Amino acid sequence: MSHAPSLKFIIVGASTAGLSAAISLKAAGQNVLVLEKDSELGGPARIPTGGVRQLNPPEWIYLVTDVAQEEEVRATAVIGKGFTSYTYEGSDSGRDYIGAHHWDPELMEDAGGLFLQMRHRDILHILYDAALREPSKNSSTAGSVVVEFNTEVVDADFEAGSVTLKSGVVHSGDVLIGADGASGFIRQRMLKERDETLEDEPSGLAVYSAIIPKNVAVADSELKTLYEPSQKHMVTFYQGSNRGAQAFLAGKDEDVVFWVYTPDGLQDGTWSQPAERHITDILGPCDPLIERLAALAQPATGKVVLIGEAAHPFPIISLHAYAIAIEDGAFIGKIFSHIRDADRITEFLYAFEEKRKPRCSVIDASEKEYINLMALPDGPIRVKHVAGMRANAAAGRNVMDSGDLNDLGQIWDNMRDVFGYNAADDADEWWVSWGRLHDAPNASKAKGEDILQCMQE
């Protein structure tokens, strides 16, 4: 890489994607300013944020290079080993058990990934600490990262590469990165200026996310079963007609995370926005444990938030959303480790879109299939699906097994594709194959096009 001055990147949003990009750009020797409209990381502490199940990609290793922090990632997570499945509606006699599915350890090891069950705010703090950590003494190329809070962006000049804050302060840079979410300012301004509309229509489902502290859960005769050895690392998974729910342990404190997918919530919210309706109001007919979980998620605990899907480029409470956001950050940092030439910014941002879009599209489709399967409407398809799961359970098999060796081989291939992908390697492959062969982009564009939209919160 040349010894030209570092580029300046302005990232709007101290999100998973924003902080991941900041870490990798700093490692690439670039200078980064992160602007976050909230007063503190993850939003106000009075609104505790939810938990997530995420796939652990190689990017965690790439971004969190410090061994101690890598261990912190594992220490703040419960490792998921599978799920037990029930019908959402339950039965006349109570709970309606379908069966269980355990992740194949050999498959997970071969694919190079794990299911990490973590708290949203824990993820942000790990990434934030990594972004601000002093570079090692042996590092001669590290750039800088500054994170400023209470800095809401209210205007942007894409041609000048500048943003204006609510306070009136103006910041200018070489590249703007929008990491403030699907409904964030940068994305909405881009759509408006390009006269584009959102491609995805909302599914009609919203997710209510609640956390029940461990001390409350273990004192309850029903919820304490979630901590039994056979269930502790398993997700309790509910399938219903246009509804669904999940409950699992997350974080180093092993609190219970509870999600409800419902057509009854119309609010479109964020991690740091409280729900307008209480979770007990949107349940519908349900399993007794769902009712109990919702009852303990009272406003007095202050641990209920709603995540909306309207206009969201990735499904809500997505298994892969955090991994994809971290991959975005790893890719953009790695690709910009090769240049400091402002004339090639547009070329590199096009490369980002060209390389990342196919993977994101595939993952997005799989996420929607997963959600649709959980919330199948009443009818022959749902009846056949549940009957097949029950038959597998009765035969002592994992409930999602098809019994077809060809299908099993396809599952292994799909898992390798999901877990085995490394965004940094993908960026290097583009550089070796194309980037290093060009001295400059074929055509210059206005600086207003030099905007990278990181789509994850």
- What's the pLDDT tens digit per position in 26-38? 999 999 999 999 9
268 and 227, same structural domain?
A: yes
Final residue in a domain of this structure, among 241, 272, 307: 307
Amino acid at 371: I
Question: Comparing C-alpha atoms, which of 48, 51, 18, 318 is closest to residue 181?
Answer: 18
Residue 143 near residue 275 (C-beta atoms within 8 A)? no
146 and 68, same structural domain?
A: yes
* 406 assigned to some structural domain: no
Final residue in a domain of this structure, among 260, 275, 307: 307
* pLDDT for the residue numbered 268: 58
* 302 assigned to some structural domain: yes
Q: What is the mean pLDDT of the chain?
A: 79
Amino acid at 251: G
pLDDT at residue 147 greater than cutoff 70 = yes
Pairing between strand 8-12 and 31-35? parallel
* 411 assigned to some structural domain: no
240 and 222, same structural domain?
A: yes
Average pLDDT over residues 372-376: 83
DSSP type of residue 39: S
DSSP type of residue 454: -
pLDDT at residue 306 greater than cutoff 60 = no
171 and 93, same structural domain?
A: no
* pLDDT for the residue numbered 214: 93
Q: What DSSP assignment string belongs to 375-393?
A: TPPSSHHHHHHHHHHHHHH
Phi and psi angles of residue 151, each rounded to the nearest 5 degrees, phi first: -125, 75
* pLDDT for the residue numbered 315: 57
Residue 52 near residue 250 (C-beta atoms within 8 A)? yes
Distance CA 440, CA 342 (A): 10
How far does the chain reach from its first CA to its final CA, in angstroms? Answer: 31
DSSP type of residue 92: T
Distance CA 311, CA 34 (A): 24
* 232 assigned to some structural domain: yes
428 and 350, same structural domain?
A: yes
210 and 91, same structural domain?
A: yes
Name the region of 273 (left: φ>0; alpha: ψ -120 to 50; beta: rest).
beta
Torsion, Cα 309 311 313 316, to 10 degrees, reads: 0
210 and 275, same structural domain?
A: yes
pLDDT of 87-136, one tens digit each?
Answer: 999 998 889 999 999 988 877 766 666 788 888 888 888 889 989 988 76
Average pLDDT over residues 245-253: 91
Most confident of the following: 15-19, 45-49, 68-72: 15-19
260, β-bridge pairs: 208, 245
* 385 assigned to some structural domain: no
209 and 273, same structural domain?
A: yes
344 and 242, same structural domain?
A: no
* 237 assigned to some structural domain: yes
pLDDT band with cut points at 50, 70 and 90 for residue 372: confident
Q: Give the list of residues 6+ apart from residue 447 with CB closer than 8 angstroms, or none.
A: 158, 159, 160, 161
Residue 379: Cβ-neighbour burial (10 angstroms; 0-12, 13-18, 19+): exposed
* 408 assigned to some structural domain: no
Q: Number of folded domains in the chain?
A: 2
426 and 356, same structural domain?
A: yes
Sheet strands (E) in 186-243: 206-212, 234-239
* pLDDT for the residue numbered 305: 27
Residue 77 near residue 249 (C-beta atoms within 8 A)? no
pLDDT at residue 140 greater than cutoff 80 = no
Q: Provide the domain limits for residue 188.
A: 8-74+118-197+318-365+419-453
219 and 270, same structural domain?
A: yes
148 and 70, same structural domain?
A: yes
Residue 270 near residue 206 (C-beta atoms within 8 A)? no
Of the listed ranges 127-141, 188-202, 265-279, the one predicted with least confidence: 265-279
b/e map 23-44, b = 16+ CB within 10 Å? bbbbbbbbbbbbbbbbeebbbe
Q: What DSSP assignment string belongs to 113-129?
A: --EEEEEHHHHHHHHHH
Question: Comparing C-alpha atoms, which of 304, 325, 37 is closest to residue 184?
Answer: 37
pLDDT at residue 255 greater than cutoff 80 = yes
pLDDT at residue 46 greater than cutoff 50 = no
* 427 assigned to some structural domain: yes
Final residue in a domain of this structure, among 275, 307, 339: 307
> Which structure tokens are listed for 351?
């490369």
Task: Kindly report the CATH number assigned to the domain that includes residue 444.
Answer: 3.50.50.60
Phi and psi angles of residue 198, each rounded to the nearest 5 degrees, phi first: -65, 140
Distance CA 400, CA 286 (A): 23
DSSP type of residue 165: E
